[in-house]
Structure 1
């Protein structure tokens, strides 16, 4: 009984991984973009001289 549960959970994890990888490859073709919004950030830095 416990062996069947572990086998089911393993198969479920493998199918989930395959689905996640498949979605990562197919999503850009569907118009879904995973890239974050970029913006430039400038911060002044004061260094102590000699």
Structure 2
């Protein structure tokens, strides 16, 4: 039982390190795009 718990803790630590590394090194910037749309105002 101790081996399973130890292995699970090690996997959790490796997963956390991978998640932090991806957050810092991964390219997660949004793509920018200019959008223009004409607007007609109904003013009386």
TM-score norm. by structure 2 comes to: 0.61
Number of equivalenced pairs: 30
List runs of 5+ in structure 1 lacking aligned partners.
36-50
Q: 1:1-50 residue pairs with structure 2 within 5 A?
A: 2-28=1-27, 32-33=28-29
TM-score norm. by structure 1 comes to: 0.54
Answer with 1 or 2: which has the greater Rg. Answer: 2
Higher relative contact order (CA 8 A, sep 6+): 1
Q: CA RMSD in A?
A: 1.3
Runs of 4+ with deviation above 2 angstroms: none
Deviations 1:1-50 (A, max 9, x none): x000000000000000000000001113xxx22x6xxxxxxxxxxxxxxx
Structure 2 counterpart of 1:39: none
List runs of 5+ in structure 2 lacking aligned partners.
31-44
